[in-house]
Amino acid sequence: MKKDLVDENVTRQDGGRDAIPTPCGAKGTSERASFVTLLASKLRGSGCVSEASYNHRGGVNSNIDSQNPSPQPSPARGEGACSNNCGTSQSLINVMHLFAFINHFTHFTDLTHFTHLRKRFAFTLAETLITLGVIGIIAAMTIPNLVQSYNEKVTVTKVKKMYSILSNAYEMSKLENEQEFVTGTAADVKVADLFKPYLKVVKDCGNTDLSCLTDTNYKNKLGTNKVNYNRNNRYYKLALNDGSVLIFRGGQNYGDFKYNFEILYDVNGKGGPNQWGYDLFEFDEYKGQIRPCGVVKDWEQTCPTETSGYTCAAWIISKGNMDYLK
């Protein structure tokens, strides 16, 4: 009986074999096909299922049938025998279809297919390293520009905010003191004292305390050494709560342009680069108002080309960017 159930010469129509265990002790696709063929042969031999009816129900393929020719109905059984066994035969037909379905389904659930898929969509170590290298190159090219753009926006925002604070403080100070600032002896101290009540000062370094600024020379816009404002006693320094520093000095006279005092604004205090046009800007008092340096004579237009960087505060206030650095 076992030899009848397992026929190594019987294969599927697509010629494949698989190793998924199946019911009834069959070990592969060909064994299941042999079992289904044998079952179909017995049913057709009973006379209850005709060849046409069997093919209509989707039996095993013709290749299998040709290797296992079905026996002819026995005349001795007769119609009566057929009618008595038709109920049992119908159940066997259902079992036959079930095994045919299993035979077809397990072809697609062969685990070796999933193994091939895993290998097909995996990346090799070389591919992974190349991808990471490309990402690194792109990051190296774009991140510095993004950081610079962000820092410029922060600087522009701070310069505009300080311009508003100084303008309001100056107007309130004039109202309360009933006078405008004038130059004279210790003008830097007088100006600083009048602004202090309207500023959020965390440290008053005056003319001699060196703790508010970096003890180094500030540079002009082109990078040439300029002045050490920390050690110059003509400048009065106030450190604010946002990390910035205001540096006050008495008025200056530039021919037809005269102002009563100047205020230098370092947006990040001890932070770098300590350079005009980058983190150091100037505001002047002119005819009763606080003005960004350069705006009186439209000098902000010279900011991109001038070497000092003094007039870049006017550029930022009027244009809202730092494109003069590009």
Alpha-carbon span 188 to 301, nearest angstrom: 29
- Asked if 159 contacts 281 with a C-beta cutoff of 8 angstroms, the reply is yes
Question: pLDDT value at position 227?
Answer: 87
**pTM listed for this prediction:** 0.60
Question: pLDDT value at position 302?
Answer: 78
Please choose, from the candidates 173, 181, 183, 179, the residue with its C-alpha nearest in 3D space to the C-alpha of residue 250: 183
> 3-state secondary structure string, the chain?
CHHHHCCCCCCCCCCCCCCCCCHHHCCCHHHHHHHHHHHHHHHHHCCCCCHHHHHHCCCCCHHHHHHCCCCCCCCCCHHHHHHHHHHHHHHHHHHHHHHHHHHHHHHHCCHHHHHHHHHHCCCCHHHHHHHHHHHHHHHHHHHHHHHHHHHHHHHHHHHHHHHHHHHHHHHHHHHHHCCCCCCCCCHHHHHHHHHHHHCCEEEEEECCCCCCCCCCCCECCCCCECCCCCCCCCCEEEEECCCCEEEEEEEEEECCEEEEEEEEEECCCCCCCCEECCCEEEEEEECCEEEECCCCCCHHHHCCCCCCCCCHHHHHHHHCCCHHHC
More confident residue, 292 or 90: 292
Amino acid at residue number 317 = I
Tens of pLDDT along 213-239?
988 899 999 898 888 999 988 899 999
Q: Based on the number of CB atoms within 10 Å of its own CB, is 176 exposed (0-12), middle (13-18) or buried (19 or more)?
A: exposed
Tens of pLDDT along 247-268?
998 876 655 556 678 999 999 9
The yes-or-no verdict on residue 110 having pLDDT over 90 is: no
Tens of pLDDT along 85-96?
555 556 666 666
Please choose, from the candidates 93, 32, 88, the residue with its C-alpha nearest in 3D space to the C-alpha of residue 59: 93
More confident residue, 181 or 79: 181
Question: pLDDT value at position 242?
Answer: 94
Question: pLDDT value at position 179?
Answer: 59
Tens of pLDDT along 158-201?
999 999 999 999 999 888 876 555 555 577 888 898 899 999 99
Task: Decide the pairing of beta strands 280-286 and 289-292.
Answer: antiparallel
Question: pLDDT value at position 8?
Answer: 44
Question: pLDDT value at position 212?
Answer: 94
The two structure tokens encoding residue 84 = 């008595």
Which residues does residue 248 pair with via DSSP β-bridges, in sequence order? 236, 263
How far out from the chain centre does Cα 263 lie?
42
Question: pLDDT value at position 61?
Answer: 45
Tens of pLDDT along 113-156?
555 555 556 889 999 999 999 999 999 999 988 998 999 999 99
Question: pLDDT value at position 236?
Answer: 94
More confident residue, 208 or 30: 208
Tens of pLDDT along 35-62?
556 555 655 555 555 554 445 444 444 4
Dihedral over alpha carbons 231, 233, 238, 244 (to 10 degrees): -40
Question: pLDDT value at position 254?
Answer: 57
The yes-or-no verdict on residue 277 having pLDDT over 90 is: yes
Question: pLDDT value at position 220?
Answer: 92
**Taking residues 6-15, what's their average pLDDT?**
44
The yes-or-no verdict on residue 67 having pLDDT over 60 is: no
